[in-house]
């Protein structure tokens, strides 16, 4: 069910509660549970996980760290896709993940790793060992699940999008597709963007990169995928999604997505597909008109799209958010396509 529909249902239930009194109040626990799931993808608090998911500890391949994660293998025992879902900026392995139940219901393998926890310590925030942790989590799932290694997916939003971009550039495992939602690509720019908006993320970046008082730009650059060297050949497909209002009603301006997309398409020889300066200005000022024949991601209008064989950029009518139902249906669509995923399988070809 889409977010708008869920909100309408809740409004209807609220009105009914006034009209029907005791009748609806008897269903309050169910209503409360339903409400708790809405827009909770970015809730950093620990969540109560379904008993089907096991809390595991993964031995690091580079040091003595034992990384916690929630994991479920495909129950069927038949090789199935693997979803590695990455937590948000302020979250960790224990936070709620709307993709988890979808993976479980689809009989997929699923893992939700910690990769050094919230991004306010020097050990986290795409430090060297973070990519190793993510690689270790994939290997753990392969060793302990029933994984179709031709169908491994990495997805994350916000800080998880930041880690998804880093994973695309540096993971050693073969991954079919990386889905990065509202990602951060440049910590230097995001520090100044966050500081002028007076959000906590500016201080988080200082804690990750310096003594907590003055930004260390060299260290911030080292943790910023925008400054990393892309691989000579694409490592799977990368799909970047950003809400047009992010930066206004959300915490990460869409320039973070656009500039990373532009860097990759130029690197891979698709210079003609870069987001031009005029388009960038229109998008950043929200002056871009909806296309005459609009496409949709679920129930959201697509404002702007650029699609190439290795990487795509989709700007949708939204804010700082993931669209979980679309995200998972997109991965299912890619898994069903087989090994070859090219420009003809644009990000909008999957089920709406």
Name the nearest CA neighbour of 178 among 312, 70, 294, 274. Answer: 312
Cα(127)–Cα(140) distance, rounded to whole angstroms?
21
Query: Are 202 and 165 spatial neighbours (Cβ–Cβ below 8 Å)?
Result: no
Number of H helices, E strands in the chain: 12, 10
Is the same domain home to 294 and 180?
A: yes
Other CB atoms within 10 Å distance of the CB of residue 204: 24
- 47 lies in a domain? no
Is the same domain home to 21 and 126?
A: no
CATH code, domain with 198: 3.40.50.1820
List, in sequence order, every residue forming a beta bridge with 86; answer none if it has no partner.
Answer: 156
- 235 lies in a domain? yes
- Tokens coding 267: 């690197």
Query: Are 296 and 352 spatial neighbours (Cβ–Cβ below 8 Å)?
Result: yes
- 351 lies in a domain? no
- Strands (DSSP E) contained in the chain are 54-59, 66-72, 80-86, 109-113, 147-157, 177-181, 237-243, 296-297, 300-307, 311-316
- 4 lies in a domain? yes
- 59 lies in a domain? no
* Per-residue model confidence (pLDDT) at position 40: 64
- 155 lies in a domain? yes
Is the same domain home to 164 and 299?
A: yes
Q: Which domain holds residue 223?
A: 118-337
Is the same domain home to 190 and 312?
A: yes
- 303 lies in a domain? yes
Q: Please count the structural domains in the chain.
A: 2
- 269 lies in a domain? yes
Encode the chain (352 residues) as per-residue pLDDT tens digits: 444 545 454 455 444 444 444 433 443 333 333 333 445 657 888 899 999 999 999 999 999 999 999 999 998 889 999 999 999 999 999 999 999 999 999 999 999 999 999 999 999 999 999 999 999 999 999 999 999 999 999 999 999 999 999 999 999 999 999 999 999 999 999 999 999 999 999 999 999 999 889 999 999 999 999 999 999 999 899 999 999 999 999 999 999 999 999 999 999 999 999 999 999 999 999 988 877 778 999 999 999 999 999 999 999 999 999 999 999 999 999 999 864 444 444 455 544 3
pTM for this one?
0.86
């Amino acid at each position: 069910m889409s977010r708008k529909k869920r909100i309408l249902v809740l409004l209807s239930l609220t009105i009914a509660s006034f009209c029907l009194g005791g009748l609806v109040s008897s269903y309050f626990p169910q209503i409360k549970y339903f409400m708790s799931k809405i827009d909770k993808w970015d809730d950093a608090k620990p969540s109560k996980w379904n008993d089907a998911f096991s809390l595991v500890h993964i031995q690091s391949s580079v040091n003595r760290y034992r990384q916690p994660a929630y994991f479920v293998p495909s129950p069927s025992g038949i090789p199935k896709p693997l979803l590695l879902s990455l937590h948000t900026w302020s979250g960790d392995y224990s936070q709620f993940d709307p993709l988890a139940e979808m993976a479980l219901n689809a009989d997929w393998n699923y893992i939700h790793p910690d990769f050094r926890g919230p991004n306010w310590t020097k050990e986290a925030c795409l430090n060297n060992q973070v990519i190793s942790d993510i690689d270790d989590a994939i290997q753990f799932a392969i060793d302990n699940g029933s994984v179709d290694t031709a169908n491994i997916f990495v997805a994350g939003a916000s800080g998880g999008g930041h880690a998804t971009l880093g994973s695309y550039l540096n993971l050693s495992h073969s991954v079919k597709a990386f889905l990065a939602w509202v990602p951060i690509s440049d910590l230097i720019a995001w520090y100044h963007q966050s500081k002028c908006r007076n959000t906590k993320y500016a201080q988080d970046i200082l804690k990750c990169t310096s003594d907590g008082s003055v930004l260390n730009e060299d260290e911030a650059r080292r943790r910023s995928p925008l400054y990393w060297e892309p691989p000579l050949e694409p490592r799977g497909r990368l799909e970047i999604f950003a809400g047009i209002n992010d930066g206004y009603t959300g915490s990460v301006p869409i320039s973070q997505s656009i500039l990373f997309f532009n860097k990759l398409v130029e690197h891979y020889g698709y210079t003609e597909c870069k987001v031009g300066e005029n388009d960038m200005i229109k998008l950043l000022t929200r002056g871009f008109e909806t296309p005459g024949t609009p496409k949709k991601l679920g129930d959201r209008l697509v404002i702007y799209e650029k699609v190439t064989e290795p990487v795509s950029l989709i700007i949708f009518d939204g804010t700082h958010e993931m669209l979980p139902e679309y995200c998972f249906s997109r991965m299912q669509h890619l898994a069903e396509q087989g090994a070859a995923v090219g420009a003809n399988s644009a990000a909008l070809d999957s089920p709406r």
